[in-house]
Structure 1
Amino acid sequence: MRHLAGVVAASLVAAGLVAAPAVNASAPSFCSELGGQWDGQFCTTSVVSERKATRDIKMALPGDLVENPVIREYLTNLMNNWRTAAVKMVQNSFGEQHFQIFQRGEAMTVVFHEMYSGTVGTDALAHPNAPIVSDAYRTFTFAGGRQLQLADLFKPGVDPFVEIPRLGAPFIVAALDAAPPPHQPGTYPFTPDRWTPDKVYSGAYKAWALTPDELLIYMPDYPVGRDRPTNFSPGLMQWSMDGGTVQARIPLTALAPVLRPEYGGS
């Protein structure tokens, strides 16, 4: 997590970004179901807490995709969770969500980027002038009328949690070296052994996108409070990690030997 003095606005632009679905009656109607107001681009609402703090919520809705049951459930839960959290806030806060769509052949990935701030209870005393601002990523990939899991991209019998760290190693290391805050390459906690799929920083590869030419993994998917390595010593700083701190872009060509043909396999 990071502490900022103000609200962060983010623009989501990436190679392979597909134009957002046309906004028709689906988005405004669904926004109304969520208890929000449609402003032509976002579904917005405000919640006043027991302590008279205001949380402003702004959600981008992906057009007709709100009719997809999986996406519909995710967006409904997100709105409800942000409303529930708002009730206990002691300072003004915000929740903001954007989305990206990537397409490769018949496969489509929708990436939701959540940004939220605010302090609850004693957190406000610890950081009176610095609201906690956090990021999180939720991703959904569909093809052939069903939702795909990461293993579905790979040939039968292939374990993606073994092959991604092996074949994607140079690209994961490059992402670790480039991750914020600026640091010396290869220094803790930005070392590959702390970001394998069985370690907390990786988010178990839960947040991933299939782009036209890459497998993009957002690590971790949600903020991580702390990491305690096996060789932990009292003098070693314990790190928290914001969602999406490391974004590993692994070319599909690097994974081609183990991918299914329709996803770039050989």
Structure 2
Amino acid sequence: MFRTITVVLCLVAAGCSSTTPDETPTAFCAEVGGTWDNDACKLTGTNAKHITVDVSAEYPTDLVDEPALQDFLRKFFATYGHPDDQVAQNGHASLTYKTYTHGGHVKSIVFSNDWYLGGAHPNDEIVTYSFDDKKAITLTDLLCPGNDALTALPPIVRPFIRQAIGEDGDISRYEPGGDYAENYKAWYLDGDDLVLVMPASRFGPVHSGMWQPRIPLSALRPILRETGC
């Protein structure tokens, strides 16, 4: 009798636990009009000319409830899931991501948006989010109080950017306000490195001319919050 009851309880518990991880991403996917399929939310958008755009988005299921991430995903589906009537040929938009970690509590999500709505080449954009114990953080949050990323970082990161782009590159384009720096809007933490993505958006061959200089966090030690201020 006890053996039978134990087996039944284990099966019920296993059934409950196996569905829990999928409930949140599936519900969010349905909310934006998609179908959860093979670890991605997918839908097909159609305009008045019957031109279709196949839309697919992968996203971290453990962070899908985070407001900033939800806003980003909603905008992605709204933009590509409802193609403008000026779009004249079938296209696609595909969102994938990679996860990077720093220490045991900081997680960076690097989204790569590859889309094609006509033209000579597909286009791409990198969008990044970082979380400290699931709380969204900014680049300035990494620094000691009183430091602003756009003023404190340039003299420190400049040598590493120069190393990445080469001696012939115009370094001013990678400074805050420059068209490649985009005010450091795309960045992530990978182990003991701060990685800047320059530029975050490209119109042309995917990832062509995109630089990702790596800055050791040890170089930021004098202004880094986690090393003591």
* TM interval, short-chain normalised: 0.7 to 0.9
Shift of 1:175: 2.1
Q: How far apart, in 2, do the equivalents of 1:143 and 1:171 lie?
A: 25
Alignment partner, residue 195 of structure 2: 216
Q: How far apart, in 2, do the equivalents of 1:165 and 1:45 lie?
A: 42
| 2:212 corresponds to 1:251 | no
Aligned equivalent of 2:130, options 141, 152, 155: 141
Q: How far apart, in 2, do the equivalents of 1:244 and 1:33 lie?
A: 36
Letter in 2 for 1:193: S
Give identity over the alignment, percent. Answer: 30
* TM-score, reference length from structure 2: 0.80
Shift of 1:92: 1.4
Letter in 1 for 2:93: G
Kindly indicate whether the alpha-carbon contact (under 8 Å) linking 1:55 and 1:86 is maintained by their aligned counterparts in 2: no
Shift of 1:221: 2.1
Superposed counterparts of 1:122-201, under 5 Å: 127=119, 130=120, 132-143=121-132, 146-177=135-166, 185-186=167-168, 190-201=169-180
Higher alpha-carbon Rg: 2
Alignment partner, residue 92 of structure 1: 90
Superposed counterparts of 1:87-126, under 5 Å: 87-105=85-103, 106-119=105-118
Say what the alpha-carbon RMSD is for the aligned residues.
2.6
Q: How far apart, in 1, do the equivalents of 2:134 and 2:172 lie?
A: 36
Letter in 1 for 2:86: K
Kindly indicate whether the alpha-carbon contact (under 8 Å) linking 1:110 and 1:139 is maintained by their aligned counterparts in 2: yes
Kindly indicate whether the alpha-carbon contact (under 8 Å) linking 1:255 and 1:265 is maintained by their aligned counterparts in 2: no
Structure 1 176/85 Cα, relative in aligned 2: closer, same or farther at 3 Å? farther
* Structure with greater contact order relative to length (CA < 8 Å, sep ≥ 6): 1
Alignment partner, residue 32 of structure 1: 30
Kindly indicate whether the alpha-carbon contact (under 8 Å) linking 1:107 and 1:142 is maintained by their aligned counterparts in 2: yes
Shift of 1:89: 1.3
Structure 1 23/111 Cα, relative in aligned 2: closer, same or farther at 3 Å? farther
Structure 1 103/200 Cα, relative in aligned 2: closer, same or farther at 3 Å? same
Shift of 1:24: 2.2
Q: How far apart, in 2, do the equivalents of 1:243 and 1:78 lie?
A: 22
* TM-score, reference length from structure 1: 0.70
| 2:185 corresponds to 1:206 | yes
Length, aligned pairs only: 209
Superposed counterparts of 1:14-33, under 5 Å: 23-33=21-31
Kindly indicate whether the alpha-carbon contact (under 8 Å) linking 1:111 and 1:138 is maintained by their aligned counterparts in 2: yes
Kindly indicate whether the alpha-carbon contact (under 8 Å) linking 2:124 and 2:203 is maintained by their aligned counterparts in 1: no
* Regions of 4+ moved over 6 Å: 241-244
Alignment partner, residue 40 of structure 2: 42
Q: How far apart, in 2, do the equivalents of 1:244 and 1:53 lie?
A: 31
Letter in 2 for 1:173: R
